[in-house]
Structure 1
């Protein structure tokens, strides 16, 4: 497992760098190399976590198809509880909120990416205190 992890590092780095560069600059995110490097780092760590999780599942489940199904289900549960679809206060019951919400690494990656992009960002205000929302270069108040 250690040899597989070490040998996969260059490919994981390239797999996070190339698509990360395409997906970071196309929508017009912050044009700063520090923000870009943090974005790439979060992608790299997420891929390492997924690969490590799948290696653990592969060592526990002998059947290839059942291993993929089990890994997909675990990933699906983590995505559902990762603060993307529902807020933490809206999660039902103790099983969904407490162990799964804090174990799901998607929660931490979303939080890191949102802070990377939006922390310290200021939006312009129009006269009278109304916010100016601009979508694709058009003002919504026109």
Structure 2
């Protein structure tokens, strides 16, 4: 397990948050399930080395009707302008919208920063989900 993943896991355990860690050939992924007012979602913290380079992903937040790609793209662009450190992306092949945060972390504060990122990602999901769903045709 990469150092950042271990430190994030320990911070989650100390905070009483449930999570699992998956070890892959070239990465460690900490997965936490979240339930908000608007929807339930998963958050992935991905580490690919011991340099504390961590990516946070909220995969497949919304599935959408491919006929609605253009209006959904406008909504995603507006959200990308609103959130400075988050990147909303459309996967046209999978017909999903995901959120990404890339953050270089300092070894002394990896766990607390991950908890703060989790809170920010949760707020972004709570705010963005109702906007995205109205353009996704998923309701």
Report the TM-score, using the length of structure 2 for normalisation: 0.25
Task: Choose between structure 1 and 2: higher strand proportion.
Answer: 2
Structure with bigger gyration radius: 1
Greater RCO between the two (CA within 8 Å, min separation 6)?
2
Task: Choose between structure 1 and 2: higher helix proportion.
Answer: 1
Report the TM-score, using the length of structure 1 for normalisation: 0.25
